[in-house]
A and B are shown apart, each in its own frame.
Chain A
Amino acid sequence: MARSTSKDAQALFQSLRSAYAATPTNLKIIDLYVVFAVLTAAIQIVYMAIVGSFPFNSFLSGVLSCIGTAVLAVCLRIQVNKDNKEFKDLPPERAFADFVLCNLVLHLVIMNFLG
């Protein structure tokens, strides 16, 4: 039973990796960006767990900037992904422009909340 589950798990990972390799490059760039953001968030949470949450607003703004960046990047990925039928007539420039605007607002708020 265990052997079958572990073999299944391996097969699962193989199929996942092969499926992922098929994604276009720009989506892979976005995914890398998302991973970077989530990692930074994780580092900050670990730091907070060690040191304590004294300047809580700085902690919140740091973590939320990472999470926000990740979320917005995922939104961009959804909109730009050609497999997504709902967005097939959305020009990618428009999607990117929206993404930039949203990030600008996000970073403005982060700067305000940081100090």
Chain B
Amino acid sequence: MSKLVHLLGFVTLNVFLLPFLCKSFSPETPTDRRVLVLLDDLAIQSSHSLFFKSLQSRGFDLDFKLAYDPKISLQRYGQYLYDALILFSPTIEGFGGSIDQAAILDFVDSGHDLIIGADANASDLIREIATECGVDFDEDSNALVIDHTSYAVSDTEGDHTLIASDDFINSNVILGSKKIEAPVLFQGIGHTINPTSSLVLKVLSASPSAYSANPKSKLSSPPSLTGSAISLVSIVQARNNARVLISGSLSIFSNRFFRSGVQKAGSAIKHEKSGNEQFLTELSKWVFHERGHLKAVNVRHHKVGEADEPAVYRINDDLEYSIDIYEWSGTSWEPYVADDVQLQFYMMSPYVLKTLSTDQKGHYFTSFKVPDVYGVFQFKVEYNRLGYTSLSLSKQIPVRPFRHNEYERFIPAAYPYYGAAFSMMAGFFVFTAIYLYNK
């Protein structure tokens, strides 16, 4: 009897808890929910509270832990406990618990997001993680980004390591539709991105006069990182659409920078509030998939006039193809409207390339004639727009040639030959009649 009561209690508890468990990350709701924040100093929790509050106000559960806490872990029994990771621990040499570089990279490779904040004394571990993501920090561990023409005018910082930058990436998806008026205050190390990689983008670049060097010592040789090649804040979108934000400064997220005003050297405008808060809030929305996350569903193709999908097409058939694309708005799936989604009918090279027309409600469709070549084709949709998740769909379908009874039955040009053949047969009958009855 007591066992039954226990069982009942267990079941009701589970049923009660089920909705909470379901609020976690899933493909149906791609926005992350549970975020682990690793700090190397608990003071950061309060010194960067504005940034964290903006996240919490959007519904994220932040879990603050010290980076060297021996009890932290990303997963238990094969299940990930968190959906995203924020590393605000630039000096950490080794994480506690079961987290290490390989675990973090596996975390990203399994589709989860990451924000890395490095700073002036970033450890080798943080630099290595950043390199694995495609971003190379300056090898000189003492170097900071110095800019003598675009520094932020201030009373205290005199070595021009506090710079004001407004060289943003031109993308509404990443930075939001509202233009960021004020420059962003930055103080920290610079990095470069791999120019051959299509996965890494510079969100905030340094001005052409910036360089990366140790501010306390004299320059003995020309600096290796100069100009706009230096990236201050970069994003990486991996092939499985995990998003990583790498920033060379931790103080860019701090309350101090959020609240302070900014005046760029050489410019007369003095802004009351720096652009940091707007910049980083919008960027965090992008990183946590609240913007720019697409899904494609309902891939359908059929012959014109029919409703169900055939297993094989014939050459010179007319067919229709349709697909629905939605974008996640943070709370729900909205139809995605664009005019540049293209479909390829592909067999080692695209035989047909068509831009899909849309009904403005997320439904894309087109129709075309199957080419005169038989083989095994694929319907390929490859959609890689800046800032959006990449759509890569392919569906294989064979195309067969004509059957022997699908050709024209009687060809007009051949009537004389038909006539000749039949006349031969008639002549044969007549001949046998005459021959047999000839006396």
A contacts with B, residue count (CB < 8 A) = 32
| Contacts known (A62-B420, A114-B418); A33 close to B413, Cβ less than 8 A | no
Q: B261 to chain A: closest CB distance in Å?
A: 84
Chain A residues in 8 Å Cβ range of B418: 58, 62, 114
Per-position contact with A for B400-439: 1 when CB-CB < 8 Å, else 0? 0000000001110110111011011101100110111010
The answer to whether B416 touches A62, judged by C-beta atoms less than 8 angstroms apart, is: yes
User: Interface 1/0s, chain A 90-115, versus B by CB < 8 A?
Assistant: 00000010001001000100110011
Q: Which of A1-9, A11-19, A22-30 contacts B (4 or more CB under 8 A)?
A: A22-30
Among residues of A, the one whose C-beta sits closest to the C-beta of B439 is: A25
Contact check, B417 vs A44: say whether CB atoms are below 8 A apart: yes
CA distance A2 to B438 in the complex (A): 45
Q: Which residue of B lies closest to A44 (CB)?
A: B420
Who on chain B is nearest to A47 by CB? B416
Name B428's closest neighbour in chain A (CB-CB). Answer: A103
Indicate the size class of the contact surface on chain B.
Answer: 20 to 34
Contacts A40-B420, A103-B428; A26 near B414 (Cβ below 8 A): no
- Taking the closest CB of chain A, its distance from the CB of B434, in whole angstroms, is 6
Give Cα distance in the complex from A70 to B431, angstroms: 12
Does A49 make an interface contact (CB < 8 A)? no
Question: Does A79 lie at the interface of the complex (its beta carbon under 8 Å from any beta carbon of B)?
Answer: no
A58 touches B424 (CB 8 A): no
Chain B residue with minimal CB distance to A52? B413
Q: Is the CB of B417 within 8 A of A59?
A: yes
Report whether B410 and A115 are in contact in the complex, using a CB–CB cutoff of 8 Å: yes
Closest Cβ–Cβ distance, residue B404 to chain A (whole Å): 10
| Inter-chain contact B417/A61, CB cutoff 8 Å | yes
Contact A66 B424 (CB under 8 A): yes
The reply to whether B411 and A61 contact each other, CB–CB distance below 8 Å, is no
A68 to chain B, nearest CB (A): 8
Q: What does DSSP make chain B's interface, helix, strand, loop or mixed? A: helix
Q: CB < 8 Å: which of A26, A65, A114 contacts B435?
A: A26
Contact of B411 among A37, A58, A107 (CB under 8 A): A58
Q: How long is the Cα–Cα vector from A96 to B433 in the complex, in angstroms?
A: 12
Query: Is the pair A55, B420 in contact by a Cβ cutoff of 8 Å?
Result: no
Contact B428 A69 (CB under 8 A): yes
What's the nearest-Cβ distance from chain A to residue B138, in Å?
74
Which single residue of chain B is at the shortest CB-CB distance from A60?
A: B417
With a CB–CB cut-off of 8 A, which chain A residues contact B436?
96
CB–CB B425/A107 < 8 A: yes
B409, B410, B416 — most chain A CB neighbours (10 Å): B416
The answer to whether A66 and B425 touch across the interface, beta carbons within 8 angstroms, is no
In the assembly, what is the distance between CA of A114 and CA of B414, in Å? 9
A residues less than 8 Å from B413 (CB atoms): 51, 54-55
Once the chains bind, are B428 and A58 in contact (CB under 8 Å)? no
A62 contacts B421, C-beta separation under 8 Å: yes
A36 at the interface (CB under 8 A from B): yes
CA distance A43 to B423 in the complex (A): 13
Are A59 and B438 within 8 A (Cβ)? no
A33-B427, A33-B431, A69-B428 given; A55·B417 CB < 8 A: yes
Neighbouring B residues of A73 by C-beta, 8 Å: 431
**Are A100 and B421 within 8 A (Cβ)?**
no
User: Smallest CB–CB gap between A80 and chain B, Å?
Assistant: 9
Give bound CA distance, A26 to B436, whole Å: 9
Question: Nearest chain-B residue to A114 (Cβ)?
Answer: B421
Give 12 CB contacts A-B under 8 Å: A37-B424, A47-B416, A55-B411, A61-B421, A62-B418, A62-B420, A63-B420, A65-B420, A69-B424, A69-B428, A96-B435, A115-B410
Interface residues, chain B, CB within 8 Å of chain A? 409-411, 413-414, 416-418, 420-421, 423-425, 427-428, 431-432, 434-436, 438
Q: Which 4 pairs from chain A and chain B are nearest by CB?
A: A62-B417, A58-B414, A58-B417, A55-B414
